[in-house]
Structure formats: structure tokens, C-alpha cells
Amino acid sequence: MKRAAILKKLKDQAKRAGVGFETTELTNHTGVTIGGVRSTLKRHTEIDEVSAGRFFDQFASVEGFGKGWWRS
């Protein structure tokens, strides 16, 4: 999955859920903050499906996301 597609999917879901979405460029990663939950995404063009799923899982606790939110 493309890195840009991951960020777009997160931004769109955050907008639907009505929570804040913010990115911060760090040295080798991009920091992503959604509704008070922060995580980092490696700065590669292509990210394998397993890593993308684990990254999405980190935001499951955000209101309006839930477990498996990216599959729908």
C-alpha cells in the first residue's frame, strides 16, 4: 500500500469521525496524531499490508474508528 494512500485514508476517517488529524515530519518517520493518539509511520514509498494493518490498528481506540475500521 502506498504511504500517501495510508495518510489519505487516515485523514478521511478522522474527518468523518470529527477528530483532529495532524502530521509532523520527523527525521526518518512521519508522526501522525489523531484524536490524541500518536504514532509514527516510516518514510518509505511502499508499505506492506501487514505493517499498514498494524499501523491502522494503533488508532482503533480513537472515537469513530474502532477495530478494523480500515476494512470497510
What pTM, to 2 d.p., does this model score?
A: 0.90
CB-based contacts of 51-59 (< 8 A; 24+ apart in sequence)? 52/1, 52/6, 55/6, 56/6, 56/9, 56/10, 59/10, 59/34, 59/35
68 inside domain: no
Print the domain residue range for 49.
21-63
Query: For 47-64, what is each residue's pLDDT tens digit?
Result: 999 999 999 999 999 999
11 inside domain: no
Query: For 13-58, what is each residue's pLDDT tens digit?
Result: 999 999 999 999 999 999 999 999 999 999 999 999 999 999 999 9
48 inside domain: yes
6 inside domain: no
69 inside domain: no
User: Per the structure, how many domains does the chain have?
Assistant: 1
44 inside domain: yes
3 inside domain: no
